[in-house]
Amino acid sequence: MSPANASHNRFGAHAAPITSATYGFGTLAIHAGSEPDAATGAVIPPLSLSTTFKQRAVGDFVYEYSRSDNPNRSNLEAAVAALEHGTHGFAFSSGSATTATVLNTLQPGSHVISVNDVYGGTHRYLNKVAQSMGVTTTFVDLAHIDNLRDAIRENTRLVWIETPTNPTLRLVDITTVAEIAHEAGLFVVVDNTFLSPYFQTPLDLGADIVVHSATKYINGHSDVVMGVAVTSNDALASKLRFLQNAIGAVPSPFDCYQAQRGIKTLHLRMRQHALNAQRVAEYLEASSLVESVIYPGLKSHPQHELACRQMRGFGGMVSFRIRGDTHTADRFLQRTRLFTLAESLGGVESLAELPARMTHAGLAPEERNELGITGNLIRLSVGVEDIEDLIADIARALESAVRENDDEIAF
């Protein structure tokens, strides 16, 4: 959402922008970027599939061409910018396209510092694609802040944070990282996918850009692939807007329409995700069939205090190590009924996966071991179903998988 268009209804009406300075989260989620249609009075802005738009005179237009801008995309960008407390929002065709576009703001010869426990697709892009374009990356454990200071070079330009990390749910102190990075003249990017802006707003904590795989919680219904970025830095926004148009990795109007519909219930969904995840984590922690549980909302999480300080809630993601090995984990994943064995996360339905063999299979075995992504580590995306049903589903699968493993060992 560019400042020039911040108060403009894209179909012609003018109104004061709905911003986080004047409204609460739920109100923003429903109303930001969603002014009634000026032409028809439709309460929900219509789907605009047109690829090109009539100009009043040469160069006199609100919209020109849908790769450059589109009413539905503009509405969505205004909404995500408001929710993340930023002034410029950008939508892309996927989370990976968002990552690529942000990193394309860097010149060849630049150096990036990334948290080591990062999403496998981000690791792949930094290691395989960005490197071939002359951008190098150092992966460090940012839970220990001295590692950041030690990794900064003369050509370092950007620090990439994911917090909580995927899949081991480690946390990074955004405020401290931003202070150190800014002292050195570096930009800070935070991947906020796991929490959504409902539970964490990184720009308020000092980040320069916040990114999401909007496929996950922002859309929330597992039927749209999309990414978004938000910033309040005008210079960065100008670069991102240029690259968004020049590279052209933009989402369709229909996907933008769907994602904005999802946003309208984001606050309601995130509350229930977190309530359910807390109950699941507590159940798993009490089970003798589980080696360990990782969830920021548990007091046993080593960074629980940071979670309470930095986040407004603990999210819907839970990771745990089942008692046994990768075969035990595989059996568990095949025997759940409500937790579907599938990649991705953040939908209303519950999902489960084995990171070592699925989302993070692209990492070398020694890298996975160093990060704690063991063969028996299971990642749960806890949905919004009835919690009693979810716990019963986990209990049945745990009992069956672990007992069979014990029988095999005894035999």
Beta strand 227-231 pairing with 209-213: antiparallel
Q: How many CA atoms lie within 13 A of 386 on its CB side?
A: 3
Cα angle, residue 227 at apex, residues 269 and 218 outer, rounded to 5°: 10
H/E stretch holding 242 reads: helix 234-247
Q: CB-based contacts of 299: which residues, under 8 Å, 6+ apart?
A: none
173 part of the active site:
no
Long-range contacts of 293-301 (CB under 8 A, 24+ apart): 293/318, 293/319, 293/320, 293/321, 294/168, 294/169, 294/318, 294/319, 294/320, 295/169, 295/319, 296/164, 296/169, 296/171, 301/169
Per annotation, catalytic residue among 157, 216, 269, 331:
216
Query: Peptide bond before 355: cis, by omega within 30 degrees of 0?
Result: no
> Which structure tokens are listed for 303?
């960074």
Per annotation, catalytic residue among 23, 37, 67, 357:
67
φ and ψ at residue 222, rounded to 5 degrees: 55, 35
191 part of the active site:
yes
204 part of the active site:
no
3-state secondary structure of 112: strand
> Which structure tokens are listed for 402?
């672990």
Q: Which CA distances in Å does 381 have to 273, 290, 385? A: 9, 17, 12
Per annotation, catalytic residue among 119, 125, 257, 295:
119
Q: CB-based contacts of 227: which residues, under 8 Å, 6+ apart?
A: 91, 92, 93, 94, 95, 96, 97, 98, 99, 211, 212, 213, 214, 215
Per annotation, catalytic residue among 191, 208, 255, 393:
191
> Which structure tokens are listed for 208?
């320069």
146 part of the active site:
no
Q: CB-based contacts of 374: which residues, under 8 Å, 6+ apart?
A: 321, 356, 368
The span from the first CA to the last CA of the chain, in angstroms, equals 64
CA distance 292 to 287: 9
3-state secondary structure of 179: helix
Catalytically annotated residues = 67, 119, 191, 216
